Amino acid sequence: MTEDIWVFLSRFALPELIDQQILHPNGSNYHLNRYSVYPLVDLMRRNGTTKLEKAEFDWFLTSSYEFNNLLGKDAQTGDARKLNINKRGSVFTRRNKDINPFFDKRNVVSNEGMNQNDSRLNAYTLDRLAPVRLASARLTPGRFW
């Protein structure tokens, strides 16, 4: 199954993505980086997702490690496993703000004490998901909020 990466990541709690070493705190941001590739593919496989994409940017990552990122510095397409660790970050280079809903810490809302009827969460959700093709969204209550 192919999913929009923004929607896919939004289904999980931020601490869960950090614990699984998919997101990495860095200053005022949570980054997808060279260390994110293997844990992200593992999470994809556990959830039956074969491809994550951001079609409007011609970006994708498959469960077989194939990727395409036209903004990649050291590589723009190919098998991420064949890149040495220092070049594996090309999968996400200059795309975090486009594909990662948790990228900017200032926009991350704590979900403590909030429920799906909380207007702050609803405003946040609509704001962050506006660019996403909602037809492909499969948000699961309890996982996102």
How many Å is the maximal CA-CA distance in the chain? 46
Q: What is the pLDDT, as a whole number, of residue 107? A: 62
Mean pLDDT of 42-62: 96
Using DSSP's 3-state secondary structure scheme, residue 123 falls into helix
In DSSP terms, 60 is beta-bridged to: 53, 68
Interatomic CA distance for residues 13 and 34, integer angstroms: 21
According to DSSP, the residues that pair with 53 across neighbouring strands are: 4, 60
pLDDT of residue 17: 96
Q: In Å, how far are 19, 38, 118, 137, 145 from 80, measured between CA atoms?
A: 22, 9, 40, 26, 32
pTM greater than the 0.85 cutoff: no
The confidence score (pLDDT) of residue 108 equals 62
